[in-house]
Chain A
Amino acid sequence: MNKQFLKAGMLGLLVAGWLSQAAMAQSDPTGKRRVTSTYAITNATVFKAPGDPGSKATILIKDGVILGVGNSLSLPKEAKIIAGDSLFVYPGFIDGAGTMGIAKPKDVERPKDFVSSNPADEIAGITPWRSATDTYTAASTQVDDWRKAGFTLSQVVPDGGMLPGKTALVLLGDGKTNNFLKLNAALAANYRSSRGMYPATLAGVMAKFRDIYQNTSLVLDHERLFASTAGVKRPQATPTQLAMMPVVQKQIPVLFTAGTELEIRRALALQKELGFKLILTGLENYESVIGAIKASGTPVLIKLQVPDDKSIKAQKADGVTEATKAQYARVKESYDKALKQAAQLEKAGILFGFSTTDAKAADVQKNLKTMMDNGLSQKAALAALTTNPAAILGVSGLVGTLEKGKLANLVLTTDTLFKEDAQIKHVIADGYVFDYEVKKKAIKAEATSAKPEAASNAVIVEGVWEYTSETPAGSSGGEITLKRENGVLGGTITYDDPSGSGKASAPIKNASINGKALSFEFDVAAGGMSLTVTISGEINGKTMEGSLSVPQMGSFPVKAKLSSPSQAN
């Protein structure tokens, strides 16, 4: 063994490795081909399914499939290790219905002899033969955003008129590969009428839906007769009827977008009348209709958003009349009710997931928290992100939980999910690993030192910490010196110099301590490049355990011991 090599230490290795990837991978000019498709997340806290209290385990995945979850897995040599010691692993989230990566198809040109009272289906927004995949772009930034929020699978819904086409289940894996899990998963439907032609209104759309459905049913009768009896004229199904057949035969559901209570009731009424399989999506206001949803046994996908509080914030305390105050109170009542809706679905025992349509990926955590602050349980929230949509989409055997044989869709977080400071560090979708920078919270006013009664319980963070870090390349370490100046936590850190000899030192930035949780960043200069390394961990007395993460590289366990405590103020 080369001593120099050992001395270089873990950071040096990582940085050198990172630099060399681009420079030396001769067989892959792009430098982007991954080294292996086998990964092991070792010794992580794994939550296999909603309600699982979590336990330490290693997860081995290969080629997009989970090979095992357990404590005695033998890891193959080609497995790239993701040290999970300080990580929490959940099943990848599932978007029950969304439009990420979907573009609107081009409008069909109207013919010269266009008749607005009886337009061709294609012009009137009736295109059930289309597929969402026709206009889907896996490499879209929307897909990136939702993946970053923990989503690994989406039912993408085509854009268009009242029957825009069939949905598809797509994995949010590598943008360059075919990510289709299931084509023609459901028929998308909504109340969108056509401008200046039949059907021009909601009433027309409902009538047209019945017409298409009934005539498809008759064409099927015709086909059966044709198949069984000689001398029957040839059936001539239209493209619309051909595409409606799996719906009428109850092979696939109708995914009906219904945001409001009345829209939901109308879809339920149509379903009751015609008998198709139904999934409701895009639910926004549904408080009064929960009983009807429950009675119908229809699964629902609610919008992954909560009403904005602009109108609540705009309410003035002074200078308004009693009448206005009464109006304020009604809006507030509606607002409070709206926030509790998800919890009521849980209470009613309705199978529900989320739809990302109209929602913002960056607000997922915040919106989920609001729902949970209003009564939704953690277990139900996680189920609505994983097992419920898997069941609704008919892919429970493939996704939704962390089990041997399921698809390698995982979310790795820095803390238990739904905790305020929990951040998504990696998302594994279709076996592809995506790393995300874990941001540090801004330094908060130090509650621990500000409050005298809390001072005695305050964790000691200031002082010199000796740390070691375990990596596949061996162990490395150095000293972390932390101290508070003018209430701001800062200091320096030493580490094995990536250039191969001795220690290097860097100032600590963005340091914060929140209860026992310490985190900070520092920059490492290597080969003319600068990398921001993050260390976060939990302090227990004089020890700290956590992780050290390097962008694009992953994260590694770190341990530290307080060697020379300084006095707390």
Chain B
Amino acid sequence: MKKHIYLLAAFLGLGVGMTHAQIQKGSVLIKNATVLTVTKGNLESSDVLVQNGVITQIGKNLTAPAGVTAIDATGKYVMPGIIDAHSHVGLDVVNEGSAPITSEIRMKDVVNPTDIGIYRALAGGVTVSHAMHGSANVVGGQNATLKHRWGSMDPADVIMQDAPRTIKFALGENPTRVHGRGNGIQPRSRMGVEAVIRNGFNEAIQYKKAWEKYNLAKTQKGNTLTPPAYSERLQTLADILDGKIIIHCHSYRADEIYMLINVIKDFNIKKVVFQHTNEGFKVAPEIAEYTMGASVFADWWAYKMEVYYSTAYNAAILQKNGAITSINSDSAELIRHLYHEAGKTQRYGGLTDEEALAMITINPAKQLGIEDKVGSIEVGKQADLVIFEGHPLSSYAVPQMTFVDGVKYFDRKVDREDQRQWVAATEMVEPIFLRANEEAHRCMQDVDKYFEAFQGAFANEKH
């Protein structure tokens, strides 16, 4: 008898511990809204039922099960949580800019769940962001896909654990500036960038072979083969070759985009997304055929030489050519109004509402490999939702509530003055100046510190 009680207690204890480690999931019924599903059309005066973090019903006149809060969204719009395929919000480090290939770097190591940028993104309806390594290196670090579960102090809670691995690549001026001009090593030119990538993959093939040979030999009796050196750098490149990781490649010019397409064809790599891609419109058919598309700015260019040949029609041209296209922020400020950025594709390119919204929902979801989980309002998907006052593509749209996994993390009506999660015990309270930190969360963060001796030569190029 006693023994049973002990066993029960032990089991319960364990159970409690496990629940604690689990991510919070909510239930909610959103009533009578215009539901913009993105993939299944618009539903007038409809309800969305969320149970335990998952969308379980979409329809009219749904009733809230016991214990589930109902929210009246009459006159309001519900859309899928916005997904930003290029962000540096929630990271303590962006660039390990000290070597041309740093594929062993994991952005998951440096996620900071208390970054106020996460909350600000939520206030702009963004529920998922792709926290990327910067563009200082040809092959940067492995990125982290974040779910904006604001309020947790544990990085593991804001990392989307069921998202596939992705990695940052960078072409053109940034890696050649940092390593070539800054440090006198390869790559000093676009040719060098290609060589670094090809050499990296070839080395990874050798590395993989060496390990396969060793793993086979070590089970044999009398084996004399010794283990090869471990290299997470090469292992990660080998994982790319094996299709386990999606490349997200910082790029601007058509020639370098086409170069990387040739490289991936040679190495039989299928999973590549181009980032920025300002000249993507010149190679749109090729991007559509060989890659997972492009993630672009709506209308941002001319901040350095390689970004002059640009057009606001870029997204629409890519889209019309069949390339999966998303609009991203790469900025802690732009991430707050990506719905405006998506709206620009209607002014420049005349995209439909659904096409424009897809640019910030299902399309980036596809590029991050999470389209089966998020990116549209469908039964069975994770309940990342935003309630808007006004149509989200209207200039007057204002996000009202943002949900991640059915849990409300932002509510405009109960938005506290001070949303900081953590305040230092020794903070001197100073007068507040309303000025954004313009240097925060940019592609070349941490590089200036690294190469500060050369700072004068590098002007203020950040992307």
Identify the A interface with B (CB < 8 A): 115-118, 196-204, 206-207, 210-211, 214-215, 217-218, 221-222, 225-226, 229-233, 235, 261-262, 265-266, 269, 285, 288-289, 291-292, 295, 307-308, 310-311, 314-315, 323-324, 326-328, 330-331, 333-335, 337-338
The docked-state distance in angstroms from the alpha carbon of A206 to that of B183 is 23
Determine if B256 is an interface residue (Cβ-Cβ < 8 Å): no
Task: Return the chain B residue nearest A195 by Cβ.
Answer: B450
Across the interface, A310 reaches (CB within 8 A) one of B133, B141, B227, B428, namely B428
CB-CB under 8 A from A285, the residues of chain B are 425
Across the interface, B227 reaches (CB within 8 A) one of A207, A218, A295, namely A218
CB-CB under 8 A from A331, the residues of chain B are 423-427, 429
Across the interface, B423 reaches (CB within 8 A) one of A197, A231, A333, namely A333
Is A330 within 8 A of B423, CB to CB?
Answer: yes
CB-CB under 8 A from B230, the residues of chain A are 211, 214-215, 217-218
Is B141 within 8 A of A261, CB to CB?
Answer: no
| Closest-CB distance, A519 to chain B (whole angstroms) | 36
CB-CB under 8 A from B227, the residues of chain A are 218, 221-222
Give the A-B contact count at a CB cut-off of 8 A: 148
A232-B96 CB under 8 A given contacts A311-B429, A331-B427: no
Is A334 within 8 A of B425, CB to CB?
Answer: yes
Task: Return the chain A residue nearest B101 by Cβ.
Answer: A117
Task: Return the chain A residue nearest B450 by Cβ.
Answer: A200
A202-B429 CB under 8 A given contacts A218-B229, A231-B224, A323-B417: no
Determine if B462 is an interface residue (Cβ-Cβ < 8 Å): no
Identify the B interface with A (CB < 8 A): 17, 20, 92-93, 95-100, 102, 104-107, 109-110, 112, 114, 133, 141, 153-156, 179, 183, 185, 222-224, 226-232, 417-418, 420, 422-429, 431-432, 446, 450-451
CB-CB under 8 A from B97, the residues of chain A are 200
CB-CB under 8 A from A310, the residues of chain B are 426, 428
CB-CB under 8 A from B426, the residues of chain A are 307-308, 310-311, 331, 335
Is A335 within 8 A of B229, CB to CB?
Answer: no
A207-B450 CB under 8 A given contacts A117-B100, A229-B223: no
Is A203 within 8 A of B98, CB to CB?
Answer: no
A207-B429 CB under 8 A given contacts A117-B98, A200-B97, A201-B96: no
Is B92 within 8 A of A202, CB to CB?
Answer: yes
Is A203 within 8 A of B93, CB to CB?
Answer: yes
Across the interface, B226 reaches (CB within 8 A) one of A115, A214, A233, A314, namely A233
CB-CB under 8 A from A261, the residues of chain B are 153, 422
CB-CB under 8 A from A327, the residues of chain B are 418, 429
CB-CB under 8 A from B228, the residues of chain A are 218
Is A311 within 8 A of B229, CB to CB?
Answer: no
Task: Return the chain B residue nearest A222 by Cβ.
Answer: B226
A266-B427 CB under 8 A given contacts A207-B232, A211-B231, A289-B153: no
Q: List 27 A-B contacts (CB under 8 A).
A: A196-B451, A200-B96, A203-B107, A206-B106, A207-B104, A207-B109, A226-B226, A229-B224, A230-B224, A231-B224, A233-B224, A233-B226, A235-B226, A262-B92, A269-B156, A291-B20, A307-B425, A307-B426, A308-B426, A310-B426, A310-B428, A311-B427, A311-B428, A311-B429, A327-B418, A331-B423, A335-B425
The docked-state distance in angstroms from the alpha carbon of A118 to that of B230 is 16
| Closest-CB distance, A308 to chain B (whole angstroms) | 6
Is B231 within 8 A of A116, CB to CB?
Answer: no
Is A338 within 8 A of B425, CB to CB?
Answer: yes
The docked-state distance in angstroms from the alpha carbon of A117 to that of B100 is 8
Across the interface, B112 reaches (CB within 8 A) one of A207, A217, A262, namely A262
Is A202 within 8 A of B93, CB to CB?
Answer: yes
The docked-state distance in angstroms from the alpha carbon of A324 to that of B427 is 12
- The interface residues of chain B, by DSSP majority, are classed as loop
Task: Return the chain A residue nearest B235 by Cβ.
Answer: A214
The docked-state distance in angstroms from the alpha carbon of A317 to that of B109 is 42
Is B222 within 8 A of A117, CB to CB?
Answer: no
CB-CB under 8 A from B428, the residues of chain A are 310-311, 314
Across the interface, A204 reaches (CB within 8 A) one of B98, B100, B114, B224, namely B98
Is A203 within 8 A of B105, CB to CB?
Answer: yes
Task: Return the chain A residue nearest B182 by Cβ.
Answer: A116
| Closest-CB distance, B240 to chain A (whole angstroms) | 17
Q: What are the 8 tightest A-B residue pairs by CB atom distance, in nearest-first order?
A: A117-B99, A198-B98, A307-B425, A335-B425, A338-B425, A214-B230, A200-B98, A334-B425
A266-B424 CB under 8 A given contacts A200-B450, A211-B230, A229-B224: no
Is A225 within 8 A of B226, CB to CB?
Answer: yes
Is A211 within 8 A of B424, CB to CB?
Answer: no
Further 16 A-B residue pairs, CB within 8 A, beyond A307-B425, A331-B426: A116-B98, A117-B98, A117-B179, A196-B450, A198-B96, A200-B98, A203-B109, A203-B110, A207-B105, A211-B232, A214-B230, A217-B230, A233-B224, A308-B426, A328-B429, A331-B425
A292-B154 CB under 8 A given contacts A203-B93, A211-B232: yes
Task: Return the chain A residue nearest B229 by Cβ.
Answer: A215
Is A295 within 8 A of B17, CB to CB?
Answer: yes
Is B425 within 8 A of A337, CB to CB?
Answer: yes
Is B106 within 8 A of A207, CB to CB?
Answer: yes
CB-CB under 8 A from B418, the residues of chain A are 326-327, 330
CB-CB under 8 A from B133, the residues of chain A are 203
Is B106 within 8 A of A203, CB to CB?
Answer: yes
CB-CB under 8 A from B153, the residues of chain A are 261, 288-289
| Closest-CB distance, A430 to chain B (whole angstroms) | 37
| Closest-CB distance, B434 to chain A (whole angstroms) | 12
A229-B222 CB under 8 A given contacts A214-B230, A311-B427: yes
The docked-state distance in angstroms from the alpha carbon of A211 to that of B185 is 23
Is B425 within 8 A of A206, CB to CB?
Answer: no
A115, A206, A226: which has the most chain B beta carbons within 10 Å?
A206
| Closest-CB distance, B13 to chain A (whole angstroms) | 12
Task: Return the chain B residue nearest A316 by Cβ.
Answer: B429
The docked-state distance in angstroms from the alpha carbon of A60 to that of B105 is 58
A232-B185 CB under 8 A given contacts A314-B428, A330-B423, A338-B425: no
Is B141 within 8 A of A203, CB to CB?
Answer: yes
Task: Return the chain B residue nearest A332 by Cβ.
Answer: B425
The docked-state distance in angstroms from the alpha carbon of A217 to that of B154 is 29
The docked-state distance in angstroms from the alpha carbon of A266 to that of B113 is 13
CB-CB under 8 A from A229, the residues of chain B are 222-224
The docked-state distance in angstroms from the alpha carbon of A319 to that of B418 is 20
| Closest-CB distance, A174 to chain B (whole angstroms) | 39
CB-CB under 8 A from B451, the residues of chain A are 196
Task: Return the chain A residue nearest B153 by Cβ.
Answer: A288
Is A334 within 8 A of B427, CB to CB?
Answer: yes
The docked-state distance in angstroms from the alpha carbon of A338 to that of B156 is 24
CB-CB under 8 A from A235, the residues of chain B are 226
Across the interface, A197 reaches (CB within 8 A) one of B98, B110, B422, B429, namely B98
Task: Return the chain A residue nearest B104 by Cβ.
Answer: A207
CB-CB under 8 A from A337, the residues of chain B are 425
The docked-state distance in angstroms from the alpha carbon of A330 to that of B153 is 17
CB-CB under 8 A from A117, the residues of chain B are 98-100, 179, 183, 185
CB-CB under 8 A from B110, the residues of chain A are 201-203, 206
A199-B96 CB under 8 A given contacts A207-B106, A211-B232: yes
| Closest-CB distance, A338 to chain B (whole angstroms) | 4
Is A334 within 8 A of B423, CB to CB?
Answer: yes
CB-CB under 8 A from B141, the residues of chain A are 203
| Closest-CB distance, B93 to chain A (whole angstroms) | 4
The docked-state distance in angstroms from the alpha carbon of A206 to that of B142 is 13
The docked-state distance in angstroms from the alpha carbon of A559 to that of B112 is 64
| Closest-CB distance, B424 to chain A (whole angstroms) | 6
B20, B107, B226, B450: which has the most chain A beta carbons within 10 Å?
B226
The docked-state distance in angstroms from the alpha carbon of A266 to that of B97 is 21
| Closest-CB distance, A506 to chain B (whole angstroms) | 48
A118-B99 CB under 8 A given contacts A261-B153, A334-B425: yes
A211-B104 CB under 8 A given contacts A310-B428, A324-B429: yes
The docked-state distance in angstroms from the alpha carbon of A295 to that of B93 is 27
Task: Return the chain B residue nearest A320 by Cβ.
Answer: B429
Is A201 within 8 A of B93, CB to CB?
Answer: yes
| Closest-CB distance, B142 to chain A (whole angstroms) | 10
